[in-house]
Amino acid sequence: MKIVHINTSDMNGGAAIAAHRLHLSMLKQGIDSKMLVLTKSSDELNIKPAIDGDFEKHIFSKIRIIREKLIFNKYKNRENPIMFSSGKYGIDISQHPYIKEADIILLHWINGGYLSLESIAKLGKLGKKTRWTLHDMWAFTGGCHYANDCKNYEKKCGNCSILKTNKEKDITRKIWKKKEKIFKELDIEIITCSNWLGECAKNSSLLKNKKIIVQANVLDTNIFKSLDKEFCKKVLNLDNEKQYICFGAINSTGDLRKGWKYLNEALILLDKENPKLKEKVELLVFGASHGNDIEKLPFKTKFLGRVYDESTLALIYNSARIFVAPSLEDNFPNTVNESIHCGIPTISFNVGGLPDMISHKENGYLAKYKDVKDLIEGIKWGLERKKI
């Protein structure tokens, strides 16, 4: 059996990491697995960029991204920042050797100038078994990757609350209609990483008649597992006497969906409530080398920068007392999955796919949605716990 994974990147972003891990897992099982990506960062043999050459890498791909952004820039009252994709611009990969050889085509996150809706339609016409693992909501919306509280995707989209169009037949309705036309002819199975996203897909007007399977992301438990904390802290040159609150910070302060506002407020209030806490508690941040917003917090911060090596990432989790992920909307974040498997209690809001991984007051704490006081209670629970 030959499988080809289609994702915009092989290493950058949560969907890329999840797709790459699945690819590696299949290889270990003896399955002939390959990845076809728009941008390749690794040096692995079974991964290829769909189009080789500097012109595609440095010019054409960037032009497609710019053209995509120009579509939505005219909506001056839109929420900002937003994740929106029209599905208008992309490349045709249907004749690539990896595609021709494959028995199964497994789509993942294909936006960012990689596949257009027309590109997906061409893959569907090849007659090969096709599955689509959803890492966000884009497949069944009129363009947004996360719909916030909007349920228009259950109908026909339009009157977009994110773009603030105030028109029933706006661009999201046009994108929805384009998807409806293509998806009707598309013989495809849908895989979602969380029960939450699975329910959203089942309730959507575009995918409700498709077969939908919920399947969690794979993880190498030989890497992400409980390790000796003292040893991990020593390797990372951390203070063994300190308790560390850990969180990932790749654009976490800039992406409203990641809930930085609530974590920021919680830590400030926690310090006011117990000023002596910062004598023994510090922040441990990976994904960034600095952060002005983070550095303004009352707690001392240790920045570890971008971490690509999974074994090092496991050391970081195991050095922490707790991991905090206050996302306002999320599918199945890799960081939470990783921290839980390392035995580190994870504090988050009770939203999206987080309850799939976190059992309240067992391996973590599910705070009430957008409730800063309850988020604080979760942090205190994690710091004070003796055993979970």
Instruction: Say whether both 33 and 126 belong to one domain.
Output: yes
Specify the higher pLDDT residue, 224 or 72.
Answer: 224
User: What does the pLDDT look like over 121-149, one tens digit per residue?
Assistant: 999 999 999 999 999 999 999 999 999 88
- pLDDT band for position 79 (50/70/90)? confident
Closest CA to 369 of 136, 84, 148: 148
Instruction: Say whether both 28 and 170 belong to one domain.
Output: yes
**Number of folded domains in the chain?**
2
Rounded to an integer, what distance in angstroms lies between the CA atom of residue 353 and that of residue 329? 8
The residue range of the domain holding 180 is 2-214
- Mean pLDDT taken over the chain: 93
User: What does the pLDDT look like over 263-285, one tens digit per residue?
Assistant: 999 999 999 999 999 999 999 99
Q: Look at residue 192 in the predicted model and tell me its pLDDT.
A: 98
The answer as to whether 384 is a domain residue is no
CA atoms within 13 A on the CB side of 12: 11
Instruction: Say whether both 86 and 165 belong to one domain.
Output: yes
Sheet holding 243-248, edge to edge: 301-303, 281-286, 243-248, 322-325, 346-349, 364-367
CA distances in angstroms from 357 to 70, 198, 263, 345, 364, listed in the order given = 38, 15, 20, 11, 9
The answer as to whether 255 is a domain residue is yes
The residue from 179, 214, 249 where one domain ends is: 214
The answer as to whether 52 is a domain residue is yes
Calculate mean pLDDT across residues 68-88.
88
Does the pLDDT value for residue 253 go beyond 90? no
The answer as to whether 320 is a domain residue is yes
CATH code (residue 302): 3.40.50.2000
Calculate mean pLDDT across residues 323-336.
94
CATH code (residue 43): 3.40.50
